[in-house]
Structure 1
Amino acid sequence: MRRSIIAIALAATAAVALPVIAQQNAPMTAPGARDASRITGGTYKVDPGHTLVQWTVDHLGFTPYFGIFGDVTGTLVLDPKNPAAAKVDVTIPVAKVTTASTGLTKHLLTKDFFGDAPADARFVSTSVRVDDDGDEAKIAGNLTLNGVTKPVTLDADFYGAGKMPAQMGGKENVGFEAEATIRRSDFGINYGLPMVSDTVKLKIVAAFEK
């Protein structure tokens, strides 16, 4: 009788434990995918912890040199039925510029470049042209930097969309990559020309959530 009771108890324990163990051992998959059908309409906010703006200049003709801006804020308005109606408005804290060189980072925050208390940069879209496949777009807008506003066009690629797991907040996310080229002299940043290039290449990874 005791053996029967023990056997029943073990069977009951196994019935409870095995599904849990199987779930723990199940292969994990990323919640996002390059699938535009996952995008829902509405207003998304920038995920500042996963949005970066990388800038690259030519340094004396020897190497490219790059730094980044982070802690970006702003919004993205999307309508999957009318992607050309999308609107982007993002703010970039120039004072938080980061490079691999402490000395250079400090130099960037002087009158030679951005100043010791630079205003945030801001990009506001004015039009969006989406390609036939719907996964690439040219986003035209106005970039305000160093007190100067100039038109800039971003070449943007859809990267992925999906919903985060409940234990990670459960928010809907969408992400993009984008590139653009600007001239720093257009924004009054002339130090080191032409040994340090006037042309600045921008590479952006932008994550949004709602």
Structure 2
Amino acid sequence: MRKTLILAGLFATAPLIAQSTPQVPGAADPARITGGTYATDPSHTLIEFEVDHFGFSDYFGIFGDATGTLMLDPKKPANAKVDITIPVAKVTTASARLTDHLLRAGKDGGKPDFFGPNPADAHFVSTSVVVKGTTAKITGNLTLNGITAPVVLDTEFKGAGINPYSKKETVGFEAETTIKRSTFGIKTGIPFVSDEVELEISVPFEKVG
């Protein structure tokens, strides 16, 4: 009898528990997106790079604080425009020694092994967007190390909603691509450190105005 009363009490309070469960503000519902210009939330924008190291392991690093804009028209999603600037000088890895290697000057006045001490920002500008459901292929020009080359981003819509802190309409996307660093004149260590660099991108955009 006691067990029966306990179970009855649990079932009676279950709806109250469900109602009090907090919900995340973003949802993968395209109907939530409104048209306009959006700007990156730099402190939550991350671009991860991954390379193969000697065939033994993969090594990771992160570019943060990317800034830029996204222009969206839900009625004409193929007309979207993306313009992102990435501060290469802020690259970070799990090893202070490796981070220093990426940014140090070349020996005896020679070219740096990787980016060098004062690298210019990288810059991506879209040239076309092909949308399929909640995914898209975004083609654009990436400028890195002073060289511009085309790149295709496989992009997925992650969610939209109101950011509870900024109170702004926010849309989030994730993207991935693979580039060859030799295309951008960064050839040190190939093939021991892979020429292919995998990029994983996570960007929230907040509506402007």
Q: CA deviation at 1:96?
A: 0.3
SS, match of residue 117 in structure 1: coil
Can you give the 5+ residue segments of structure 2 that lack an aligned partner in the other structure? 1-15, 105-111
> What corresponds to 1:201 in structure 2?
198
> What corresponds to 1:28 in structure 2?
22
Choose 1 or 2 for highest CA Rg. 1
TM-score (norm 1): 0.85
- What CA distance in whole angstroms lies between the structure 1 residues aligned with 2:20 and 2:196? 49
Amino acid at match of 1:143: L
Amino acid at match of 2:130: R
SS, match of residue 128 in structure 1: strand
- Matching of residue 174 in structure 1 with residue 171 in structure 2: yes
- What CA distance in whole angstroms lies between the structure 2 residues aligned with 1:164 and 1:104? 36
- Superposed CA offset, 1:48-102 (max 9, x none): 0111000000000000111000000000000000000000000000000000000
Amino acid at match of 2:88: V
> What corresponds to 1:118 in structure 2?
119
Percent identical residues: 65
TM-score (norm 2): 0.86
Q: CA deviation at 1:154?
A: 0.2
Amino acid at match of 2:185: G
Task: Please tell me the root mean square deviation across aligned C-alpha atoms, in Å.
Answer: 1.1
- What CA distance in whole angstroms lies between the structure 1 residues aligned with 2:21 and 2:124? 40
> What corresponds to 2:62 in structure 1?
68
Q: CA deviation at 1:115?
A: 1.0
Q: 2:77 aligns with which of 83, 91, 103?
A: 83
- Superposed CA offset, 1:87-132 (max 9, x none): 000000000000000000000002110011000000000000001x
